[in-house]
Amino acid sequence: MSAKVRKAMIMAAGSGTRFHPITKAVPKEMLPVIDKPILHYVVEDILASGICEIIIVTTAFKEPLIKQYFELHPGLGAEITFVHQNGHYGTATPVANVEHLMNKEPFALLCGDEIFAGDRPRVRQLMDVYERYQGPVFGVIQVDDEGANKYGIVEPISELKPGIFQINNLIEKPGPENTSSRLAALGAYILTPEIYDHLPLVLPSPRGELELTDAMKMLMQKQPHYAVRFSGQIFDTGTKESWLNTNIEFARKRDDINFN
């Protein structure tokens, strides 16, 4: 039997230049959505899924501020380890930085600036698919034609159950004319330890970045990959507009806020 998912990592090393000047003093993941930092919501989703071991990949500047916040909230029950990102820019680097902590086990991977709202935690939805099919899992949402211009699109082989797919390809922002799929990949995965066999093979992009999805596409040729269409809403807070919209949407859901 394959190992259970017992650990989660959060990528939180970005510089947050879109939010300057505030992010020169405050990590972008600690910007508030109403009265809690973005990262608090991400940690809550992980804990609600039954995972207590969390690794946050960040920077020397950010770590003390994030650490202090979570030390003031011991009731969350998270066991948080901090790792400083070291190496090329890109999503492959933080995953490589935590290999020594993963003990050759599967793990959840999340972005530090996406918030989920729904009846069932999104990490639990990923874990359900992993536990059933024992392979890497993408979290996806359904998008329209315009979404095919904005997101990486996964291409399914088949729909195994409603909302659960076996996939065999990922295309970065292909446009609606280049794929029939409208399943957009988000920053949420279950990864298996085999990913570490392929990370060293990833070549830098023209911008000098090492992308995790390049390693995943290599692994797809050897190991079945899956996707789950999330039940719930994903809120991206990576831009000023999306962060403001997230605050508005969360304010509308709060009984203690008179928001019209």
Determine, yes or no, domain membership for 258. no
DSSP letters spanning 29-64: GGSEETTEEHHHHHHHHHHHTT--EEEEEE-TTHHH
Question: Is 54:10 a contact under the CB 8 Å cutoff?
Answer: yes
CA distance 130 to 119: 19
CA distance 95 to 260: 42
Cis amide leading into 21 (omega within 30):
yes
Determine, yes or no, domain membership for 260. no
What local confidence, expressed as pLDDT, does residue 259 receive? Answer: 75
Determine, yes or no, domain membership for 44. yes
What local confidence, expressed as pLDDT, does residue 260 receive? Answer: 67
DSSP-derived 3-state class of residue 118 = coil
Determine, yes or no, domain membership for 88. yes
Residue from 150, 180, 155, 176 nearest 165 by CA: 155
Determine, yes or no, domain membership for 43. yes
Tell me the CA distances in angstroms from 24 to 17, 84, 113, one per residue in order: 8, 18, 17
**Which residue ranges in the chain fall short of pLDDT 70?**
1-2, 260
Angle between helix axes 38-48 and 62-71 (nearest 10 degrees) is 60
For residue 21, give the DSSP letter. Answer: T
CA distance 210 to 202: 6
How many domains would you assign to the chain?
Answer: 1
Determine, yes or no, domain membership for 22. yes
Determine, yes or no, domain membership for 150. yes
CATH number at residue 42: 3.90.550.10
